[in-house]
């Protein structure tokens, strides 16, 4: 059994955050096969979700994310998620899950 690598946020909450970010950033594949998304190069969406969906200290969570290379919302998905996946476990995308959809970012 592996230990969850993040100290400031539990695994289930982190997965919910990543699902919300994935939806909010409109990750999509272009006709040429490349991938693009709508990131404003800040942690605004990440901070908002943490503050509105958890009782965690957002400053502490974001500090850990930055330490792990998450300096903006898309880097939370790319860099911090890669640290969380070091044990090789793949996290299921719950985008189509009715209940999970209600945890998204609503601006």
Q: What is the pLDDT of residues 30-87, one digit of tens each?
A: 999 998 899 999 999 999 999 999 999 999 999 999 999 999 999 999 999 988 887 5
- 16 CB-near residues (< 8 Å, 6+ apart): 53, 100, 103
Residue 55 forms part of a structural domain: yes
* Strand blocks (E) in the chain: 28-29, 35-36
pLDDT winner (highest mean) among 25-34, 55-64, 91-100? 55-64
Asked, for residue 34, whether it belongs to a domain, the answer is yes
Residue 96 lies in a domain: yes
Tally the domains of the chain. Answer: 1
For residue 41, is it within any domain?
yes
Tell me the pTM.
0.76
Inside any domain, residue 84: yes
Q: Which two tokens stand for residue 72?
A: 């903006």
Asked if 20 and 8 count as a contact pair (C-beta separation under 8 A), the reply is no
Tell me, yes or no, whether 21 lies in a domain.
yes
In a domain, 5, yes or no: no
Q: What domain range includes position 87?
A: 11-101
Question: How distant, in Å, are the alpha carbons of 16, 34, 35, 41 from that of 13?
Answer: 5, 29, 26, 22
Q: Is residue 37 part of a domain?
A: yes
């Amino acid at each position: 059994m592996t230990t969850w690598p993040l100290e400031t946020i539990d695994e289930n909450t982190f997965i919910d955050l990543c699902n919300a970010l994935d939806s909010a950033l409109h990750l999509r594949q272009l006709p040429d096969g490349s991938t693009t998304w709508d990131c404003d190069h800040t942690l605004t969406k990440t901070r908002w979700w943490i503050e509105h969906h958890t009782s965690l200290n957002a400053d502490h969570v974001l500090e850990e994310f930055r330490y792990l290379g998450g300096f903006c919302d898309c880097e939370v998905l790319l860099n911090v998620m890669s640290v969380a996946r070091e044990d090789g476990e793949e996290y299921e995308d719950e985008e189509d899950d009715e209940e999970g959809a209600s945890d998204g970012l609503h601006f």
